[in-house]
Every structure is written in structure tokens, then in C-alpha cells.
Structure 1
Amino acid sequence: MQRGGVSSAPVLDLGRYLGTPLQRVEVAGLVLTESTYAPGVRLPSHLHRHAGFRLTLEGGFMDVVEGRARECVARSVAFHAPGLEHAQRIRDVRTRTFNIDFSEASWRSRSALAGRLDPRADLASARLVALAARVYQEFRRADDVAALAIEGLTLELLAEAVRASAPDAGGAPAWLGRVRELLDAVRGPPPTLAALAREAGVSPRRLGRAFRQAWRCSPAEYLRRSRLERAGRALRETERPLGDIALDAGYCDQSHLTREFRRRLHLTPAEYRRLAGRASGSTR
């Protein structure tokens, strides 16, 4: 939502989306919707009144939430919190999504779990995708016990999302936090795993295993995300030249920055800057 004022973006009600609906089912305080989107379309900034999960069935898109970009590829799951403004750019292929929306009463009844779910987290969990796919199968099956199955699976889905959104770093050793700080500070060539391990005083194998357990990714993937986030923040919040942003974020040059944005977000940095500006209510 636009800071410092009331957003003028449209608010979509329970089970409503900007795509073309293919099928819609209501089950025990849930609304399940399958929708399709034309290739290359840009969806304007909007909000959802209710919380929900989205399984991308095919195709994909780039989602900009509060100016932060995340790529939603086929067979991935994302959570959208109520009242959170975002804009989307559909990839140049036909895209289908399956959405599970919670009514206000249904969401409140699950508040013990729902309150622990971080809407900004990447839900990178194979089990989460498998659960969402099973909900979709029951949605398509639509027999006399599908409603019961959907209700139970959705509760499992919510529990798994809470687990996936909370990095297991509470009991992590101090050296692991130091490694993360070193990666956040990288502005030139990336360090090797062996060099990070020497700084931490552990073996490369132990470092790799502990890092993945705590942050749910490898050190290399964390560094890629960190660079992308630094560059994205600068693109959202400043008018600095792309070359300067690239170097400060740790890329070799502007071409390197552009290649990474195209590969990971399917946008150029300039396109991202425009889309992020619209999603945050900027008139830049």
C-alpha cells in the first residue's frame, strides 16, 4: 500500500483476480479459483482483500510487492497477505494459476498459525508445492469427499508455509552469522566456499550444510539474492545511473546487472524500475 496516504489501487474481493477465471469452487470458508493470463500482459497495481495462496500451474510472472520483486515460476507457491499492494508482469507464455483464498472468518479461525506467516518470505518448499498440487487435484476431482479433503489439506498447507517462511537460524552458531555478514558486504569478486570456511573456522562441507539449514539456500544463491536485492532497492528508491548501481551492488558492470535481471526476473533493470515505481504508487 502506498506509504503516507491511501492507495488508489483497486481492491479485489474474495476469489477475484485480474485474469480470466476458468473454474471457481467455494468450500468451508475457502474460495478456490483457477485463472488464465495472456502472454506478456502487465497487471496494474492492486490489492487483495483476503489472504491466500497461489500455485502457478504453468507459465510464470514477475510479482512486485511493495517494490520488491519475486519471480513466480511454474510449480511454485506464493502467499499474498490481505491489503498488500502489488503489480505483475506475465511472462511471454500462457500462464495459469490456482488460488486458495480464505474468508475473513476462516483466516481468523487459523490465527494461531496465520500470525506467524511472513508474507515477504520465499516459500521454497517441495512439500508446500506438493500440498498445493494435491488441493488442486481435489478441486478438479470435485467428488462428494473433495470438500473434506480440501479443508484438511489447506490446513497442512498453511502449517508448512509457516515452517518454510521461518529460517531456522535461532540456534545458529555465531560463525554462521559472520558468514552471512561477509556475503552481504561483498562488492567485488565473490569469495570461494573454502575462503568463507577459513573465516568461520570450519570445514567447507560443514559450512555448506549449516548455511542451507539456516537460510534454506546455498551461500552462492544467497549472494545472488543479496546482490539482486541491493540493486532492486537502489532502482526503487533512487534515480542513480544503472552503471553506478551495478558496481555498488557487486556486479562487474551494467551488462552483468542487466543479464542477471533478465535471467532471474525476465525484466531489464529499467523495466523493473518502472514497474516497481507503479507498484509503490510513485509518480516517477
Structure 2
Amino acid sequence: MVIRRTRTEFWGTDPQRLETPGFSFHLMAANPPEDEVQTHMHEEAHFVLVLSGAYMSSAKHAPVISTTPLLIFNPAGTTHRDRFLGGRGRFLAISGGDTEGFGFATSLRDLYALQVATRVALDFERQNLSQLQLEGSVQQLLAACSPLTSDESGRASQPPAWLRDAFEMIFISDDPDLSVANVAAFAGVHPVHLARVFRRYLHCSPGEYLRGRRLERVAAVIGAATASLADAACATGFVDQAHMTRSFHQTFGLTPGDWRSRRAEQDVSPIQSG
């Protein structure tokens, strides 16, 4: 049975919440065990910005499990079971808005949208909020994922085109030898400048993002149960299986073998309906 959730219902504690006529904003901490998060749908569209923790999502473009910057958009009626590994994490949820015709759930690979959502979260934490500012931010987010909007000329503080190229390169690359220096050379900028601008928009260093993406690929490879752990380590750029195991455990709190067992025992790719 699919559980229906209203605009203000999410799994987690909700210490900071604000309502405007068209939207609700929640800065939340995940607290229920992940097994308690059941397949559900929201009556209204919503964004989820993952602030910390390992998040499992079935949205298009989302890694099977992620610790790198992640912004998910779920149109109204999307059926899913997205949740945090171990039930531990923090997130910003924004619900509401007219999203008719917006299609399917997706992970937004739009650096401007990530920056807008992160700014809302930071303003929440600093208690620096206004209804006008919040609603303006949501409209910017909706424009970023609207199938009817392609003109970006009106956006302020757009990330440079080379940063979007660098971000995309890291996201899609399966080269185990890819380095930050390679990414900087591809973008045509100095590595120090890459790091400075990367942190401005993604709030992490290029090296942190690259390591996170490698671990996300490890999770996908070993979760598919088609490669040995040693082969997975080699294919994703780790020195050896022991190095991969240490990094995986430090990030996700369980070993690659434990993760493979979990994937075999339970379905973490629920059906989507948009």
C-alpha cells in the first residue's frame, strides 16, 4: 500500500519550519530507522536538499546512494521510498507550487539550483528569513526544472560555463585515474581557482566531490553483484580492495560486503510514477 503524505509530512524531526501561502519549508533531521520509511507519495511537489548523511533515491540521475551534494525534485504524485542509510541525516524540504506537466522525479545537476537551495538552508540556520525571499527562491528552483523554461538569461550569479563542464565531467566519468588536475586542465583554469569556485557553488572541494563520486560508483558496482570487490576497487580508482573498504566504511558506516548483502536482501529502487 502506498501512503499519501501532505505538504508538511516528512519522515524526521522538524525543529525549523515556516509556512507561506503557497509553500512550506522544513529544515529536518532524519530520525526513523530506514526500514520504517515506507513507499509513499506526496500530494504536492517537493524538493529535498540533502545536507548530510548517505541518501538513497530512485530519482533519475541520482546515485543509488549519495554523500555528495544532492538536490532531488519530486513532482506531485511521485511514488518513492527515498531515505537515509541508517536513518541518519539532515535535509531541507520545500513543498508546494504549480508543477503540472513537470514529468518525473529527478536529481538536479544544475549548480545554480543547488546554490539557491543551499542559500535557503543557510538562511534557515541563521534565522535570516523573509516570505518574499523564500518564495522567490522556490520560483527560481521551479524554473530550473520546468520543462517549459530554457532561458537562463535572467538568472543572477550564474556559475561559469567551465564549472558546469567540470562538474559534469566528474559526475559522468568512469576513469579510475581521473584527478583534480585533469579536471582543472579540462576546464582551462588553475586548480586553485577551480577549488575556490567549486566550493562557492557546491560547498565542497573538487577532491571531496571526486572521492564521493568514486564511492557512489563503488556502491553501484558492488550492489549489482556482478564484480568481485577487488575488481570494483580497481575499476573505481582505489589502490586496492583494502583501501576501498576503509574509505567505504568511513563514509557509509558499513563495509562493501555488508552493502552488497543489503542490496541483495531488499529493494532500494522503488517504482516511480510521475
TM-score normalised by the chain length of structure 2: 0.61
CA contact (8 A) 1:135 1:153 kept: no
1:46-85 paired onto structure 2 within 5 Å = 46-49=39-42, 50-54=44-48, 60-66=52-58, 68-71=64-67, 78-82=71-75, 83=78, 85=80
Change (3 A) 1:204 1:77: closer
1:155 equivalent to 2:136? Answer yes
Q: 1:158 to 1:241 in 2, by over 3 A?
A: farther
Distance 1:227 1:21, change over 3 A: closer
The answer as to 2:5 corresponding to 1:12 is yes
Partner of 1:278: 267
Equivalences for 1:11-50 in 2 at 5 Å? 11-20=4-13, 26-33=19-26, 37-38=30-31, 42-49=35-42, 50=44
Is the alpha carbon distance of 1:238 and 1:281 closer, same or farther for their aligned partners in structure 2, counting shifts above 3 Å?
A: farther
Secondary structure of the corresponding residue to residue 89 of structure 1: strand
Structure 2, unaligned runs of 5 or more: 145-154
Q: Structure 2 matches for 1:243-258, cutoff 5 A?
A: 243-258=230-245
Q: Distance in 2 between matches of 1:201 and 1:168?
A: 10
> Is this contact kept in 2: 1:69–1:265, CA < 8 A?
no
Match of 1:220 in 2: 207
Greater Cα radius of gyration, structure 1 or 2: 1
Q: In the superposition, relative to structure 1, how do residues 196 and 28 fare at CA in structure 2: closer, same or farther (>3 Å)?
A: closer
Structure 1 residues 135, 151: closer, same or farther in 2, change over 3 A?
A: farther
Structure 1 letter corresponding to 2:107: P
The answer to whether structure 1 residue 89 and structure 2 residue 84 are counterparts is yes
Report the number of matched residues.
245
Could you state the TM-score of these two structures normalised by the residue count of structure 1? 0.59
**Counterparts of 2:176 and 2:268, CA distance in 1:** 28
| 5+ residue gaps, structure 1 | 1-7
Between the aligned partners of 2:16 and 2:240, the Cα distance in structure 1 is 47
Quick check: 1:261 aligned with 2:248?
yes
